[in-house]
Structure 1
């Protein structure tokens, strides 16, 4: 998550630094990048703000016995498990970044030029960034 948030800050800073002048294409690209950053930030917030995280924090704060705490963590893991692929897929765009960790899930990444556009091929598995 921290890796992705840092890349989004970099993307936003780069887009804001663009001085488009009279180029309408550059103005649209800048606006699209800024909108893309905001959309990704909202997805990150959606992943982070799930009730599983709240459940685990509550279990810790209440000092539940180990067995009950384990049950809460197991129940809380489901929304995290279902939401974490969102972050994995967002991180794919940064697979060529020097700080990218291949253990985050992307082991193969390539675009194939096809008549109908690029096709992303990938295999996943691993830790969440």
Structure 2
């Protein structure tokens, strides 16, 4: 996924929409609706925590400290490598989370999961801006 920042902003906006919709559901006599509302709010909170986990990079301060301490270039290079690894390993979480919103009008085709592209086979044309065929039971 090339533009992690754009995907993160897209996800944050969708989570705000989901939270707003869930909070708009008025408590009533139907306990199933109340449980669904609570589940959606818990889901939003869990996804927000995952986004924070992906965005955090605890090695960034270490990188700044290495430069400030005047470490030799080879040691700074090692710190740079270590600082770059976490996002690489954590960003697939974002790809999976964003897939749930593939039917949203602002969803970009390049955010599609690789598995979904392979399922589409010959019907999928990268760069095709027209509406997509069915993927995993969803119209996209």
Fold-level match, TM-score > 0.5?
yes
1:111 alignment counterpart: 136
Q: 1:5 aligns with which of 1, 9, 12?
A: 12
Coordinate RMSD, CA, aligned: 2.8
Distance 1:100 1:53 in 2: 30
- The Cα shift of 1:71 comes to 5.1
Contact map agreement 1:92 1:106 (CA 8 A) in 2 = yes
| Paired residues, number | 111
> Which structure 1 residue ranges, 5 or more long, are not aligned?
113-129
Structure 2 counterparts to residues 28-67 of structure 1, below 5 A: 28-55=35-62, 58=64, 62=68
Q: Secondary structure at the match of 1:51?
A: coil
Q: Which has the larger radius of gyration?
A: 2
> Which structure 2 residue ranges, 5 or more long, are not aligned?
1-7, 118-134
Could you tell me the TM-score, scaled by structure 1's length? 0.70
1:102 alignment counterpart: 109
Contact map agreement 2:99 2:111 (CA 8 A) in 1 = no
- The Cα shift of 1:70 comes to 5.9
